[in-house]
Each structure stands twice: as C-alpha cells, then as structure tokens.
Chain A
Amino acid sequence: MESEESQMSKSEFKPLSQEALRLIDREIAKYPAGKQQSAVMSALRIAQQEKGWLAPETIEEVANYLGMPPVAAWEVATFYNMFDLEPVGRHKITVCTNLPCMLSGSLHVAAYLKEKLGIEFDETTADGQFTLKEGECMGACGDAPVLLHNNHQMCARVSKDEIDRRLAEWRSQ
C-alpha cells in the first residue's frame, strides 16, 4: 500500500535543501580531508529525514555530493536496515521482536499495533500516516518491549496505554 503523497514523491525529484547540505557538511568535517565518504551514512540519514525515504535519485545526489560512485552509496543504503528504500508513512514504527523483547511482550505490542492500525508488518496505512516494521535488537533489552519511531525516537517499556497515547500524539502531529 502506498499513499498518494509517496507516489508523488516517487515521480517528482527535488534536490536536497540547503539546510540538509549544511548538516551533511558538518558530518563531512568530522573526517580527515579526502575521506568524505565516511559521512555517507550520516548524509543518507539526513537525506532520509528530509525526504521521508531514500529514492535512488536521492542516493545518487548524496553519492555525487560526496564524490563516490553511486553504486557504492547504493551498497551502503541497502546494507543498513534503517534506510528506507521505499516510501514509508509519516510515522514509521519499528517494533523489536528479538528474543529479549519477545520474552517481555513485544509480540503483543506488535499484535496490538497491527490491530489498531489495520496493517501488517511492512505495510503502510491507507492514509499514509503509519508504517509498521519488524526490527532487530535495538540495544535496549532491559527496557523491553521497545519500539522506534521514525528511526530516532525510542519508546521503552511500552504498554497498551502507552501505545494508545503515542499513536494519538503522532497522529495529531
């Protein structure tokens, strides 16, 4: 399922904003001169934050900006699983289902989210609001069950009430 919005973003390619490029420059500055390829993960992350997902055109723009072959940036984008190579909803929810989280209720969290949103893993709600993903260990097993909102916001020890509250909050954003 794809939202109209994301369908549109597939066909119309806009280059990265000056703000995104400024953030990328800040990442490049962390590495020695000539080693700007080291910033590719950050640059792709920044691009994904701005665009919602990584269209091939975006990956190529990042590659060109960093002076690396597009296929090398493509390798990176396909290797790390937090990069979205397909359009996702405004809110991507990634539920860790790995063993420690599973032992502490993540399967119930996943089932509850599926029921509330009416979608399965790797699907997006018809209104383009939510995408549900199954994630691997997020390194927070002591706070299980955990989920991740748009890659960057971790919600720990989530209960059903917590999920209800969060969904309402995100929906209203």
Chain B
Amino acid sequence: MLEIEIDGKAVQAPDGSTVMEAATLAGIYIPHFCYHKKLSIAASCRMCLVQVEKAPKPLPACATPVTNGMKVWTRSESAVKAQKAVMEFLLINHPLDCPVCDQGGECQLQDIAVGYGGNASRFHEEKRVWVNKNYGPLISSDACRCINCTRCVRFTAEIGGVQEMGQAYRGDHAEIMTFLGRSVDSELSGNVIDLCPVGALTSKPFRYRARSWELTRRRSVSPHDAFGSGLVVQTHRDAVVRVLPLANDELNECWLNDKDRFSYEALASEQRLTLPMMRRDGDNWQTVSWQIALEFIASTLRDVVKEQGGQAVGALASPHATVEEMFLLQKLVRGLGSDNVDFRLRRTDFRADAVRAGAPWLGMKVVDIHDLNDVLVVGSFLRKDAPLLCQKVRHSALRHGLRVHTVGPNAENWLMPMGTRALVGPTEMVDTLAQIAAALAKETGKTLSKSLAERAKGEPSEAALAIARSLAEGEKTAVWLGNLAEQHPRAAELHLWGQEIARLAGAAFGFIGEAANSVGGYLVDALPGAQGLNASEMIVAPRHAYILLGAEPDLDFVDGAATVAALARARLTVALTAFDSPGLRQAADVMLPLAPFTETSGTFVNCLGWAQSFNAVAPPRGEVRPGWKILRVLGNLLELPGFEYADSESVRAEALPADVAAKLNNAIGDVPAAEEIAPRAGSLQRVTDVPIHFADPLVRRAPSLQKTKDAAAPAARMSAATLAQVGVAAGDKVRVTGVGDPVELVAEADEGVAPGCVRIAAAHPTTVALGPFFGELTVERV
C-alpha cells in the first residue's frame, strides 16, 4: 500500500495504482472522458489533468502512477485552469445540440461542462462537420458530437476481440469510423453505446423514444443465455424502452451482449399473445376468457387422465422458463399422476439421467477463469452461445496466456488466440475425447478408470496429443462441455470422458448450459421420474395431452417437425406462451398468454449456480398472466393439493433447495459405450448450431436484432474440400435431404466446419423440416 495525499486528504492506494484509481478509492471525482476502468489507458482527452507536487506541469490522473508520499491537487488553480482549457477545446467543435440529443441528461460532456465550461464561446470559426455513419441496426451515429476519446475503438479491439472501429485521419480531421462504412457486427457491439461519453453513439432502437430522466429503472436478469447477466430494465409509460447492464464484477462486469440489450423490442411485437385463444373447428382460432380456457383445459385433462391414465399427459418446459414456472409445471403433472416432464428440449441422449449426481453447472466461478492456464471446450459455439463467458475466456487468453482448446465439428473464429482445435465430425467426438484421456493418462502417469481403459482404442490424433500435453502442463485447467456436446446423440459418453479428462488433469469440470434456467430446471426436478418419459420420448411415443410452457414446438425442439406432428395429434395441447405463432397454431389447441420475464416475478439459476430472482418491471399487457399464477389456478381447478401460493416467493421457497450449491454436481457414473454408426459413403454429417438471435421465442421477434449479420438466414456451410467432394460451389443453391423433408439452402464455404460435415442452423423456419440436429444428410446442387 502506498500513502498519498489527494486534495489534502490522506489516501491509501495499492502498489501500481494510478492517481485516478487512488482518487476513485478515496471518493474523489476527477473529470475524465477517455479513461475507462475496463479499457487500456489512452490519456488523450486530457480532462483529468491534476497538479502533482514537484511536477512542472499538470499530469493526467489516469496515466500517472502513484508514488509514496505523492501530493496531488485535483482542484487547485493550476489543475482547474488546465481542466477548463481542455473543456473549452472539447466544446469548440461540438455542435452543442443537447436539446435534440438522446445522451442529454446522462452525458458526461454535458455534466462536466456545467462545472468546467464557459458561458460563452470564444470560437468564431466555422465548426467542423462530420457525416454520420451507419454502424448497423443497433448503433446510431451522430458523428459531430464525437470528442475522439476512442473508447469505442479500444472496446472493439480489446473486449470485442477484433478492431472494428478506428480513428482515421489525423489532427482535427481525426474521425471515428469503420472500414468502408461497414456495420459493427460484434455480438457485444451495443456496449460502445454505454461507453460513449457523449451522444455520438446512441442506441438506434431507443432513438428519440424518451428522455433519460423520464425513465423508470428496475433490476432484472437476462432470460437468454446461461450466463444470466444482470440487467437494468428501463420503462417509459409502462413500456420497456431500454435495457442496460447491471454492473457486477463477478459476472457480466459492465457489459451486456446485444441479445440481452436489444431483445426487449420483442415485448412490443404484434405477435404478443394478450388474450387466451382456443382452436374451434379445425384451424379457426378464437379469443376466449380465461375462465372458459382454463375450465376447458381442466376438464379435458381430467378426462384424459381418467380415460388413459396419468402417464398420458406430458409436460414440456422451455429452459428459459422461470424456476417457479418449471416447479409448478412438474408439480401439476405429477399431481395428475404423470412423470413425463422435461425442459431439455434439444437433447437426444438422456442416459446420464440414471447416473447423474446432481445439477450440471459450469463447475467453477467466472472470476477464476482469469487464472486458468488451459481450458478445453468440447462441442460449443461459445462465442454466440454465451458471448460474455466467451469474453472472459478471451480476456484471459489475450492478457494472461490462457490456452483455449476445442474438440468438435466447428472451429469458428472466437476472436482470441487459440490453443489446439481438434476439428472432428460429431461421430468422432467421443473417440477424440477418449484419445485425449488416454494420452493425458500417459502424460501424467495416472491410470484411466477401469471401465474406460478398454474403450480407449487406437493412437491419439496429433490434436488430441497436443491438447493432452497442454492440459498436463497447465497448473489450473478446466474442461467445459457446450451445447452441442449436450445435444449430441452420445452426450452421456462425452460427459463421462470429459469427467475423466478433468480427473486426470486435475481440472475443473462443467457445462456451459443452453439457457437462462438450464440449471434451475434440474434443481426443481422438472425432469422425468423413473417411470416417466423424457422430452425426446414424449415425442417419439406421443401423449394424449401436452402442456407446453414457453416453448415453440417447431423451433425450440431438437426435431421441430416431429414435435409439431406429435403435439398436433394429441387430444389436448395447451401452450403457455408469450407469442402467437404459426407453429403453435398448428400444434396447440389452447394458447394461454404467458407473461414474459419483464411482466412476472421469477428466478433463473445461471451456469454458476446463482439463483437470481427478479420482479416484474412492467404491468402485464392485456390479459397476460404470470406463468406461476396460471399454473397455480390450473392446479386449483384440478383440485390438486399444495397449490395455495400467495406469491412467487412462496413458490420459490418450496421449489429451490435451501443450499443450491450443494445440489450442483457434474459427476456421473458409468455409461456403456454406444455403437457408433459410421456415416454412409456419399453422405455428410449434420452439424447444428442454434444461432444467437434464433435461440428463444423472445429474441426471434426482436426486430433490430433480426437485422444484424448474426440473424442471417441459415446456409449450408461446408469446408472447401467438402464442397468439392459434393460437387457444389459456394453460392450455389443446394437441396439438403435428411430424415425429414428436403430443404433448399445456399451453400457457403466455411473452413470452420469439420471435413465431411455440413453445418446448418436450427431454430429457423427454413430448416425445421430437415429433422434432428445430428445424422446424415445428402447435399446436391439444385
């Protein structure tokens, strides 16, 4: 610790601190623009000039290291004179258009100008004019307001992973722009809006919607990926108009990914279901009262149970549903005598259920990623599946030399230095992990577990060997399984081998998790019981009645076509849904307007095992009701015991164990090896990703996000070699045939796809007909 004096106040600051950091610790504010605690130091705006004892001229607080005994004055005559001079320079070319600027009221320039600006301008020359840029559908540009602090430039390079923005030209022509006016395509792009200290970069969807002081701010939790970022949701006249990050250094820091930031637009979608609807005579849908809808459901469910038995009922929840909703759903179907309940709608291998010790989670804290030497990520589209988790990995890879290895059929650019990538087709993933485990055993002098020893066959591939060696060398290591690994037809074996590798390496072991409440679903036992059917079995062996919670049958299941068919055949399919959709109209008989996360209280358990509760930020639209209330009333109507909840807190109290952490456990027991069927000659293996902006019903309806590059229509992506193998050129229209109906897509070259594989995105209307995520496909030119 160093002892210094700032403005006459004794301050202690850790070694290596800057004057700015020391002042912040002491609660002393030094005006600044370019400085940002999460970005590299630019020291270029010069607003933070302060007087330092013995220094002949004022020094920038942001870049001046503290030395013991240093005396600093932030408001002395010399400091203030320098600060005022800088302020004048910043304002001479600034348009001073505060009345029409969205930043008004939350503008650093405006705020600091109050303290340091003059009353009148001495600048009588013509002001500089810059043309506004088009940064894409999310970021609005008012270039003339820019003060060249370069925070946005540094963000794209340092946090986003690739410099998308730059400061071109020089002198007072220096201008922030992208190359050739391209859009900013990072999935983290919206953060530059928060970083911009002036109104040069503002939110395009929020543009001119409201003034910041008119907004009501409430905390919430991201309903999208498993990372569960903290949100500040802002409303204007009961409508959500903006979402900002809730800063938390152990989670999302001060960042949000674009999905979390802009998905709120879907809340105003025309497809919002605001009244209960029922199918009448074929495809004719009518709005009905809650009473009619619920009584119809209750009586039909009763009939089904009476006639076919409880097991004729199946319940399928979206992993984006809350803890309270999932808990009540499983309680309801169990009350009806059914054990058929599941939330893992995109999973195909459920063998781990019989040998699972607890709820799968990341297996470590986010802050510990910082110190990792190696991480092996198996079967994951990490950058798009969990952008901020990926950012933590990127930070550590860039700053601390973390070696990032992957195994899987995809090797897209994660914008960070990568270790070894074993780019193998889905059918080779189990073997690759086995090879890594065997090589690792050799490297570490440990032995493979008995049951696995005989399964590890053949020589390890070069990549497997390199990964094993690196893991053996790393002191702190981790093994993570991603969504693709969990959706894999041999997911349980990948789990088993991942566990083995982690054991041999002394690594943390865990799952990235698919959705906001993937961990919560396990904790509340929204899972099939011993006699029950899992999500896949409920479709393969159709039920007479289904309750669908927050999921769309065509887009949220591993085989949308089969799911729609099974649900449509049932006597009753009840959908609790925030949106009306063609898929639901095809599959369901009753649609009940479900409150999205902004209109209900609830809890999500993220991949770190944090149970994060939130309250409604806006009143429900129309006749919309929170899910927990709908299920409570249904329970009451069905005269099931234990449905007398006064509020969501009492549901949560019953739903979640007192000690959540104790229930988190990634261990599994032995799973026998399945026979791997080698693909037929001439066919390709499908590789499936769930694109970031198609992943759940809310984001699919967010108009601005749907205009981004990340929301491009699915293509058939193959390596150049694979394209040549099937006689197709990039840009060709191709017919892709799997177990379902053929679909027509455009072929795209992508060296990040394993040889012999074709990557086709799911969760999109154009690819639903294809069938499940894995398996053989043929690709031919149309």
Contacts and interface: CB of A to CB of B under 8 A. Distances in A.
A and B touch in the complex (CB under 8 A): yes
A154 interface: no
B163 interface: yes
A70 B169 contact: no
Q: How large is the interface on A (under 10, 10 to 19, 20 to 34, 35 or more residues)?
A: 10 to 19
A78 B168 contact: yes
A70 B179 contact: yes
B667 interface: no
A72 B170 contact: no
A59 B182 CA distance: 15
Main SS at interface, chain A: helix
A161 interface: no
B398 to A, nearest CB: 14
B170 A74 contact: no
Contacts of B157: 69
A100 interface: no
Nearest to B164: A71
A128 interface: no
B170 A71 contact: no
B167 interface: yes
Nearest to A75: B166
Contacts of A79: 168-170
A2 interface: no
Nearest to B162: A69
A70 B166 CA distance: 10
Contact of B163 (A59, A60, A71, A78): A71
Given A56-B179, A60-B179, A69 B164 contact: yes
Contacts of B178: 71
Nearest to A69: B163
A159 to B, nearest CB: 33
Contacts of A72: 163, 166
Contacts of B166: 69, 71-72, 74-75
A71 B179 CA distance: 5
B165 interface: yes
A84 to B, nearest CB: 14
Contact of B165 (A56, A59, A60, A71): A71
A60 B162 CA distance: 15
B677 interface: no
Contact of B167 (A59, A70, A75): A75
Interface residues of B, number: 14
Interface string B176-189: 01111000000000
For B157, B164, B166, B177, the residue with the greatest tally of chain A CB atoms inside 10 Å of its CB is B166
Nearest to A73: B179
Contacts of B170: 78-79
A80 to B, nearest CB: 9
B168 A75 contact: yes
A38 B568 CA distance: 63
Contacts of B162: 69
A143 B636 CA distance: 99
A72 B179 CA distance: 8
Contacts of B177: 71
Nearest to B170: A79
Nearest to B167: A75
Nearest to B175: A78
A165 B163 CA distance: 48
B720 to A, nearest CB: 17
A78 B177 CA distance: 12
Interface in A57-113: 59-60, 69-72, 74-75, 78-79
Contacts of B163: 69, 71-72
A71 B156 CA distance: 11
A69 B157 CA distance: 9
Nearest to A72: B163
Contacts of A78: 168-170
Interface in B603-642: none
A86 to B, nearest CB: 14
Contacts of A75: 166-168
A136 to B, nearest CB: 12
Contacts of B169: 78-79
Contacts of B179: 56, 59-60, 69-71, 74
Interface of A: 56, 59-60, 69-72, 74-75, 78-79
Nearest 9 Cβ contacts at the A-B interface: A71-B166, A71-B179, A70-B179, A78-B168, A69-B163, A75-B166, A78-B169, A74-B179, A79-B170
Given A69-B179, A79-B170, 7 more contacts: A69-B157, A70-B180, A71-B165, A71-B179, A72-B166, A74-B180, A75-B168
11 contacts: A59-B179, A69-B157, A69-B163, A69-B164, A71-B168, A71-B178, A71-B179, A72-B163, A72-B166, A75-B166, A78-B168
